[in-house]
Amino acid sequence: MPIKENYSMEYIAFSILNYLLKRKGSAPVSKYHVMSRAKIPTQRADRLNTIFELLLKRGFVSRIKTERTSFYEITEEGEKEYNRWIKYFLQFAQIFYQT
């Protein structure tokens, strides 16, 4: 029986931070950009909004609002947390989910 690929909110959040860290120094990106370019499984819009709001609330990402959309980039706090332990979790999870 194949494993159904339901990724946790934490895994998705960590993957978003991973992508934003790789783009550090580049222009901030939209949610659509993150979901279409990063290697993140497709998510419902409401779930994705919740994840981005939690990242904002914790200070891991910053948001730049424009008239039409919002753009995001990783903060120093987000980078610090990523380097402290998130990258190790992602390495484990990526190996774990390989088939």
Q: Is residue 53 part of a domain?
A: yes
Please give the residue that has the higher pLDDT: either 18 or 99: 18
Q: Is residue 37 part of a domain?
A: yes
* Residue-range definition of the domain harbouring residue 70: 9-97
pLDDT tens figures, 17-59? 989 999 998 999 998 898 888 877 777 778 889 999 999 999 9
Please spell the DSSP secondary structure of 43-96, one letter per residue.
Answer: --HHHHHHHHHHHHHTTSEEEEE-SS-EEEEE-HHHHHHIIIIIHHHHHHHHHH
Over the chain, what is the mean pLDDT? 85
Residue reference for tokens 């497709």: 42
Asked whether 10 and 82 are in contact (CB, 8 A), the reply is no
pLDDT at 75 over 70: yes
How far is it, in rounded angstroms, from Cα 75 to Cα 62? 6
Question: What is the structure's pLDDT at 2?
Answer: 45
With cut-offs at 50, 70 and 90, classify the pLDDT of residue 95: confident
Domain count, the chain: 1
Q: Is residue 79 part of a domain?
A: yes
> Residue 86 sits in a domain of what CATH number?
1.10.10.10
Q: Is residue 4 part of a domain?
A: no
**pTM for the predicted model, two decimal places:** 0.80
| DSSP reduced 3-state for 31 | helix
